[in-house]
């Protein structure tokens, strides 16, 4: 079978598409790991107060950070999302 320029171009395009897919998959999974990876115990200088939303696995938490700022977060079985734009003192420099 004689290879044509079109066949060669299609082969190269297929290889490049496979490489790109492998890179994107690797990049997407790079942040995945067991919960709490890299941490042992919670820092005693932070505190968290949560209340569960009725009939859901969602919780609303107020986390007090080491520098005394407080941030509101929503926690679920898949993770936590925090409203950093409205954290207390978000527009101030933390005390050192």
Would the pTM count as exceeding 0.75? no
Distance of alpha carbon 5 from the chain centroid: 44
**Rounded CA separation 64/21 (Å):** 41
Cα(47)–Cα(71) distance, integer angstroms: 11
pLDDT at 35 exceeding the cut of 70: no
Binned at pLDDT 50, 70 and 90, residue 94 comes out as low
Q: What is the mean pLDDT of residues 1-10?
A: 71
Interval 25-43 mean pLDDT? 57
Between β-strands 47-52 and 70-76, what pairing exists: parallel, antiparallel or unpaired? unpaired
In degrees, rounded to 5, the angle at the alpha carbon of residue 21 between the alpha carbons of residues 20 and 27 is 90
Q: Where are the alpha helices (DSSP H) in 30-61?
A: none
């Amino acid at each position: 079978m004689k290879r044509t320029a079109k066949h060669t171009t299609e082969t190269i395009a297929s290889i490049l598409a496979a490489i790109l897919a492998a890179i994107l998959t690797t990049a997407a999974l790079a942040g995945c790991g067991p919960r709490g990876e890299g941490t042992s115990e919670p820092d005693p200088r932070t505190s968290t107060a949560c209340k569960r939303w009725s009939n859901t696995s969602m919780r609303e938490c107020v986390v007090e950070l080491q520098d005394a700022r407080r941030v509101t977060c929503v926690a679920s079985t898949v993770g936590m999302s925090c409203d950093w734009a409205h954290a207390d003192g978000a527009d101030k420099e933390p005390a050192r």
